[in-house]
Amino acid sequence: MSTDHASAITGDEFVSQLEDENRVSLERLGDLSTAGEAPQELTIERLLRVALKNELEASEIAAVWMTTTSELDVKLAFARQVGDEAKHYRMIVERLKALGVDAERIDPREGGYSALYEYLRQLQSTAARVAAGQFTREGIALVRNQCFIDFCEARGDEQTARLYRDVIQPDEQHHHELGRRLLARYATTENEQQVSRQAAQRTLELAEEIQEMARLKTGISRAPGC
């Protein structure tokens, strides 16, 4: 992605440009997530365990950012996300229980936090946080969740597909659209636009690296986002 911008453009123009730039990477992520035939040992229960880690990290990073963000509208947006991601976590636990998994014994913190979480945690700029988190990471979630919905439907699990299609996806779409509005409001200087573009790019790079590592090491693909 190019960062060769002579001067700042308007916030709305910047968001449109960033969306176009992100789209290429998001399409590649979707293709990588669904590449090849899914093996039978790749079960919905196994992917929902991955989802718990994603939801916990998404909720926690929004909570960390909320405490150190001064802009009230952004602080409240992070607060909304904390609650939504925690709600998703609880609903996935209940779905795992219905599938016969002792979900209360699962601790998604085992193995440590992801490289993406560690990267997001150190972002300081409000615009960069919104660009990386709500705008880009939630955009990634929308793509991955759709891949997971398709996988659930192919395996005949309409109940899990419905949970994602009717509850989780609308929440993630809301976060993404809220991120769009906030980014247009706060990424209005050349510097903020540059750090926002860099944060979005690195978020996409890490998401792809993590996805490919999971596929190569454990055969995990089609995993939902957060």
Read off the pLDDT of residues 57-92 as tens digits, 9 standing for 90 and up. 999 999 999 999 999 999 999 999 999 999 999 999
**How much is the mean pLDDT over the chain?**
93
Count the neighbouring beta carbons within 10 Å of the beta carbon of residue 217.
8
Q: 104, 107, 57, 103: which is closest to 82 by C-alpha?
A: 57
User: In angstroms, rounded to a whole number, what is the distance separating the alpha carbons of residues 8 and 10?
Assistant: 7
Q: 112, 130, 16, 117: which is closest to 71 by C-alpha?
A: 130
**Predicted TM-score (pTM) of this structure:** 0.91
Residue 81 lies in a domain: yes
Residue 226 lies in a domain: no
pLDDT higher than 50, residue 4: no
> Could you tell me if 203 and 138 are in contact, meaning their C-beta atoms sit under 8 angstroms apart?
no
Q: Mean pLDDT over residues 144-171, rounded?
A: 97
User: In angstroms, rounded to a whole number, what is the distance separating the alpha carbons of residues 22 and 17?
Assistant: 9
Q: Which residues contact 13 (CB under 8 A, 6 or more apart)?
A: none
Domain encompassing residue 187 = 21-32+39-218
Count of structural domains, the chain:
1
Residue 172 lies in a domain: yes
User: In angstroms, rounded to a whole number, what is the distance separating the alpha carbons of residues 70 and 105?
Assistant: 37
CATH number at residue 26: 1.20.910.10
Q: 155, 146, 157, 206: which is closest to 25 by C-alpha?
A: 206
Phi and psi of 2, rounded to 5°? -80, 140
Q: Quickly state the pLDDT bin for 139 (edges 50, 70, 90).
A: very high
pLDDT higher than 80, residue 134: yes
Look at residue 219 in the predicted model and tell me its pLDDT: 78
Residue 162 lies in a domain: yes
Burial code of 90-122, b = ≥16 C-beta within 10 A, e = fewer?
A: eebbebbeeeebebeebebeeeebeebbebbee
Look at residue 7 in the predicted model and tell me its pLDDT: 67
Lowest mean pLDDT among 2-11, 133-142, 193-202: 2-11
Residue 224 lies in a domain: no
